[in-house]
Each structure stands twice: as C-alpha cells, then as structure tokens.
Structure 1
Amino acid sequence: MTFHVPAAGAPLFQSALANFNPYGGETAVDSKNPERGPLLIIGGEQDHAVPPAITHASYRIQSKNPGTAEEITIPNRGHSLTIDSGWRAVADEALAFVQRFVE
C-alpha cells in the first residue's frame, strides 16, 4: 500500500532553481553578517557528494566574515561521516570547537 502526502511544491522548486536566482531568494546565505556566530565546516576527505574542494570554497567565503570560521577535513571519511563508525571522533572535534566559545 502506498500513501501520498499532499504538500506544497514551492520548497522543491526553490531548491532546484537556487543556482539560477541572481537575487538569492530563500536559499541565500549572508556570509558578511557580522552577527554570525562561530562556524565550523567539517568535511570528509573521501566525500564525493560534497567534495573537499566545495567545503574549502565555503570556508574561504565564510573566512572573510568578522566572526570565527574554521575548517576540518576528516581523513579517510566519506559523506556519512557523522553516522558511520568513527562518528564519535567527528563529534569530539565539533564539541571541542563549541566548548572554545561557551562562556
């Protein structure tokens, strides 16, 4: 038996056309927002869905923000680095980053 849940298609179209919208729309990221909190970008060295070149490009954009931006590439890990075995090492990196900014 198959169930269909009716839903608005707008989010799907917004995502699909995000790269073609010169004004940003709902998917725009304000990388210059001075109120942005500390940002940690974590990527997997073997990630083929979001390769290291993409995470590094995101880091370069965000590093121009006055807020803290850091990048970590986890060796020998793919896209599911937070749910595969070894997830705890990734969580430890993220926790160490957060703890540096907790008052």
Structure 2
Amino acid sequence: MFKSSPTTVDTPKAERSPLLLTSGSENHTAPKVVVEQPVNLYAGDSKSVTEYHEFEGRGHSLTIDEDWDDVANVTLQWLSSKGF
C-alpha cells in the first residue's frame, strides 16, 4: 500500500464515526471470514466503534432481497444506539 496515495485509508485512525460491517450467514460472495478481516483492520488500536453484524440465513444481496427492511431496521437501531 502506498502511504502517499490520496486513496489510502488510515484504518487505525483514533477518531472517526462508528462503522458497522454486515454480511449474511449464507453469503458465499463475501463470507464471514472475508468481512471479519476489515472489521479487525479498522478496529485495530482505534478507540472508534467498529462492529460486525451477521444476518442469519441471508445471502449477499442484503439490501435488495426480500425482507430488506429487516436490514434497514437493524442498521437504524444500531445507529440510534451510537447516538445518531
């Protein structure tokens, strides 16, 4: 990774908004093991909130599949719990 690149993300940055990464338990495109890598990377030594939520029985297209509103509601509740 090039540290001088304008697209470089400072993942362990101490101050940033909360980050929620999501996946479905049946997601074969980006399975849990793949999504957990950026969760761990962003969490690092950061004091900022970084969390993972898995939707049981769901696939990759969480926001366009049937019951997409469950994903929206979980996300809204999570944001609310973080003061947003």
Structure 1 position 27, deviation (Å): 4.2
For these two proteins, the number of residue pairs brought into alignment is 82
Residues in 2 aligned to 1:74 and 1:27: alpha-carbon distance in whole angstroms: 30
Q: Which residue of 2 aligns with 1:93?
A: 74
In angstroms, what is the RMSD of aligned CA positions?
1.6
**Structure with higher helix content:** 1
The residue type paired with residue 54 of structure 1 is V
Q: What is the alpha-carbon distance in structure 2 between the residues aligned to residue 29 and residue 84 of structure 1?
A: 30
**1:41 corresponds to which residue?**
21
In the TM superposition, what is the alpha-carbon distance from 1:102 to its structure 2 partner? Answer: 2.4
Q: Partner of 2:73: helix, strand, or coil?
A: helix
Among candidates 48, 54, 78, match of residue 73 of structure 1: 54
Kindly provide the amino acid, as one letter, of the partner of residue 84 in structure 1: D
Give the partner amino acid of 2:2: Y
Ranked by relative contact order (alpha carbons within 8 Å, sequence separation 6 or more), the top structure is 2
Q: Distance in 1 between matches of 2:30 and 2:9?
A: 17
TM-score normalised by L of structure 1 = 0.70
- Give the distance between the partners of 1:79 and 1:89, measured in 2 at CA: 14
> How much identity, in percent, do the aligned residues show?
29
**Structure 1 gap ranges (5+):** 1-21
Q: Which residue of 1 aligns with 2:65?
A: 84
With the length of structure 2 as denominator, give the TM-score of the two structures: 0.84
Instruction: Name structure 2 gaps, 5 residues minimum.
Output: none
Q: Determine which structure has more spread, i.e. the larger CA radius of gyration.
A: 1
